[in-house]
Structure 1
Amino acid sequence: MIVPGPGTLLIAEPFLKDPNFMRTVVFLCDHQEEGSFGFVINKTFNHTLDELMNDLEELKLPVYYGGPVQMDTIHFLHQYPELIPGSFQVMDGIYWGGDFETAISLIKEGSLDLNKIRFFIGYSGWGNGQLNDELKEKSWLTAQATRKLVFHKKIEEIWKDALKELGGDYEMMANYPTDPQLN
């Protein structure tokens, strides 16, 4: 098991029943004893960016459900630190946030590859020691994130692909039913 930190993937174990996190993969942006946060990377939200924000009519971009905390905030992950000032490096090649107006302007002018930027509503957060407790309970598997998984073109395959990358017995878990009693 990888020690959690920025750039870690939290992969929900196959039988986790929490509706916010069932079969999800969370990209951890920060992890400290006093708290942790990240974004669910494999759940789309039921509205596009233009439906959530004013003056973005032409931007029908998908928005992902980042998690249940602060569902009134928009965040983004990207691969453009040289173009978007104020970005925070989470890991090599993946950045969080930065100047939102600049990002939107660059998208409108066609300067960004839309496969290299993702918008999230809300985030996943854990209080003091909470994530460590969930890891001890084995609610999550951990793996090192890759750009390929974080910016995966087929979000419905992220959870299975993350398990497959762990290999061994984890690879078999990708095909487990949601409810083992249905087996």
Structure 2
Amino acid sequence: MPAPVPGDVLVAEPPMADPNFRRTVVLLCEHTTEGSFGLVLNRPTGLTLAQATDEAIPFDADLWLGGPVQPDTLHYLHPYAHLDGTLPVLDDVFWGGDFEALRELIAGGVVDPGRIRFFVGYSGWGAGQLDAEVDEGAWIVLPGSEALVFADGDDALWRQVLRQLGGEYALLSTFPDDPRLN
């Protein structure tokens, strides 16, 4: 399995024991010798950004669970390279940036809030932890894409990615959440 790099997606293997990552697709935003940072792409919270914040937000957007770490933090992915403070993840996907500037750009109609994915919390790994999990076979590492980052989906996205891989992975996509119920 190739070593993960920023912009890759991590697809949880079906027997993943950790409930925080069972059947997840995670975009890896940062991966260094000091640790890794990612955002789960397929865990909608069922809330909107306006419902989850005390601030007056001039727009509304779905809110996703980025991971179990620091669930009181807000992160976002978008295709707007010109937003101050953004960090590139993929050619057309950027992470973060100046939130106040983002609010102004949305209010001014310069950017579309529908093209921004907002997350609470994130997925984090300590030094060497993610590489060890990949070596143990907990994750399938694939190149990411803008289409995958902004795809709708929950468990269906995880299944879709596995089916597209074909072969044994397509078979794994049918693996029941609880094998005892098979």
TM-score, structure 2 normalization:
0.91
**Secondary structure at the residue paired with 1:126?**
strand
> Aligned to 1:50, what secondary structure does the other structure show?
helix
Per-residue CA deviations over 1:49-108 (Å, capped at 9, x if unaligned) read: 1123233355331111001111111010000112x1111101211100111112122223
Q: Is the contact between residue 23 and residue 159 of structure 1 (CA under 8 Å) also seen in structure 2?
A: yes
Partner of 2:20: 20
Summarize the Cα distance change of 1:55–1:179 in structure 2 as closer, same or farther, 3 Å threshold.
closer
Deviation of the 1:166 alpha carbon? 2.2
Counting only pairs closer than 5 Å after superposition, residues 58-137 of structure 1 correspond to structure 2 as 58-82=58-82, 84-137=83-136
Equivalent-residue separation in structure 2 for 1:45 and 1:168 (angstroms): 32
Contact 1:25–1:159, Cα closer than 8 Å, also in 2: yes
Provide the C-alpha distance between the structure 1 equivalents of 2:118 and 2:2, rounded to a whole number of angstroms. Answer: 26
Q: For each residue in 1:113-139, what CA deviation from the matched residue of structure 2 results, as whole angstroms up to 9, or x when unmatched?
A: 334210110100000111112112211
The alignment yields a C-alpha RMSD, in angstroms, of 1.7
Answer with 155-164 or 65-74: which moved more: 155-164
Q: Could you list the runs of 5+ residues in structure 2 that have no partner in the other structure?
A: none
| Residues 34-43 or 48-57, more deviating | 48-57
Identity %: 45
Kindly provide the CA deviation profile for residues 107-166 of structure 1, in whole angstroms up to 9, marking residues without a partner as x. Answer: 233332334210110100000111112112211111111111110033442211221232
2:90/2:145 contact within 8 Å kept:
no
Corresponding residue number in structure 1 for 2:171: 172
Aligned-partner SS, 1:163: helix
Deviation at 1:38, TM superposition (A): 0.5
SS at match of 1:36: strand
Distance 2:84 2:11 in 1: 30
2:164 aligned counterpart, secondary structure: helix
**What SS does the aligned partner of 1:60 have?**
coil
Judge which range, 107-116 or 1-10, deviates more.
107-116
Judged with a 3 Å threshold, the aligned counterparts in structure 2 of structure 1 residues 40 and 52 are, in CA distance, closer, same or farther, namely same
**SS where residue 6 of structure 1 aligns?**
coil
Comparing 148-157 with 108-117, greater Cα deviation is found at: 108-117
Letter in 2 for 1:161: Q
- Aligned residue for 1:161, secondary structure, equals helix
